[in-house]
Amino acid sequence: MRVRRRKGAEEHLANNPQIVVLRPQDAKGNWHKIFGNVNPIHIEVGSGKGAFIAGMAAAHPDINYIGIDIQVSVLSHALDKVLESRADNIRLLRVDGSSLTNYFDEEEIDLLYLNFSDPWPKKKHEKRRLTYKNFLDSYKQILPPHGEIHFKTDNRGLFEYSLASFSQYGMTLQKVWLDLHASNFEGNIMTEYEEKFSQKGQTIYRVEARF
């Protein structure tokens, strides 16, 4: 997601430690304490401006959500959305999705979402795709046995790559949608990119894959 560099974004994050977890390495193993309950924890890696987690958190008050993004400016927009929603079941984390095992204990996360991840279409950038096997290794460690990844995208190349990557990893493709918006899937919460691309007539793909 490309956003203009936002002045004061760092300070904005630092001034809201009740939402933005500022020392993520200390959070490992302590997430239920941070949320103050024992509800399941779902994360979105590459959460962008936060429309999805904010919408999910409002629809599912008994689930805790963590939005993870590597970009400060993007995360500061997500913070605005969370503050506006006044939800207490969302936290934000500014870390790289490739190092999640530094911030989450084994099985600490119940479900992992990827939405409209950067496609990195060139073969030489395969390792940067969030569905590359090295990422799957770390997701597997923080999810329960048979944990799930729910992924949606408009990018057919990344979708096909990801189906193959999940399957080659030995994961089960539980459900696949080749046109999510034309299906009877209920409770879909749109992401920013989903709004944008579906308005342009792009098909949205979705998969639920299980370790």
Question: Using CB under 6 A, which of 11, 26, 96, 179 touches ligand SAH?
Answer: 96
- What residues between 6 and 45 interact with ligand SAH by CB under 6 A? 45
Q: Does 148 bind ligand SAH (CB under 6 A)?
A: no
Q: Does 68 bind ligand SAH (CB under 6 A)?
A: yes
Active site residue 80: no
Cα–Cα dist 135/143, whole Å: 12
Residue with tokens 């929603």: 85
Pick 41 or 94: Cβ nearer ligand SAH: 94
- What residues between 113 and 132 interact with ligand SAH by CB under 6 A? 115-118
3-class SS string, 113-128? EEECCCCCCCHHHHHH
Q: Catalytic one among 62, 118, 154, 179?
A: 118
Beta-bridge mates of residue 52 = none
Q: Does 154 bind ligand SAH (CB under 6 A)?
A: no
Tokens encoding 126 = 């395969």
Q: What are the Cα distances from residue 57, in Å, to 64, 125, 138, 191?
A: 7, 33, 24, 13
- Rule CB under 6 A: which residues touch ligand SAH? 1, 45-48, 52, 68-71, 74, 96-98, 115-118, 191-194
